[in-house]
Amino acid sequence: MLMPARPLSAEAAATVARMVAGGGSPAGVTLDNRVMPVTAGECPTYRYGMAPSGLATLRQLSAMGLRPGGCRPVAGVARPRGRWVAHLYDLTTAKPKRPMTPGRWRALAAANRARRICPTCEQDAGYVIPVVLGECVDCHDGPAGETGHGEHEIGEAA
């Protein structure tokens, strides 16, 4: 369920409008609707939905076929109630993604193949082996007659 956005004060709305239009000093809007000027070296953090155009997250850049290109984040966006902050990158400094070469495809296939090999039975499990188990499900569960994991059936001596 989405929470309705809290209205900004007249001062905050004017500052955000100046900032989006490109005039005045940069400012960020905090989660409690306060407008904070940004000093040199700081990144502004915008409330969710309040970031100016021209900034994008990593996923948004990736969807556009771009990458940050070695540039640092210029701002952040905070989710409601401040749960996490996503970094925002400038679209003008973003570079196109590097294409996948045949060598990269081979390396990716080899890495995925290695994640499917069970270290216990050394067979291809046909799926990526869960890190929690450390081996394929068949090896982890053992033969059908065993209970495994140090558990003993009722009446069996320890």
pLDDT digits (tens, 9 = 90+) for 74-127: 888 887 776 677 889 999 999 999 999 999 999 999 999 999 999 999 999 999
Give the pLDDT band (50/70/90) at residue 128. Answer: very high
What are all long-range contacts of 100-105, with beta carbons under 8 Å and residues at least 24 apart? none
- Which comes out higher in pLDDT, residue 53 or 16? 53
Print the domain residue range for 127: 102-141
One domain, residues 133 and 113: yes
One domain, residues 87 and 30: yes
* Alpha helices, DSSP H, located in 22-150: 58-63, 102-116, 137-141
- Which comes out higher in pLDDT, residue 34 or 4? 34
Per-residue burial over 29-52, b = 16 or more CB atoms within 10 Å of its CB, e = otherwise: beeeeebeeeeeeeebbbbbebbe
Which residue's entry shows tokens 């090896």?
139
Residue 41 reports pLDDT greater than 80: no
In a domain, 156, yes or no: no
In a domain, 151, yes or no: no
In a domain, 136, yes or no: yes
pLDDT at 143: 72
Please return the burial class of 75, using the count of CB atoms within 10 Å of its CB with bins 0-12, 13-18 and 19+: buried
Work out how many domains the chain is built from and give that number. 2
Nearest to 68 by CA among 88, 95, 43, 92: 95
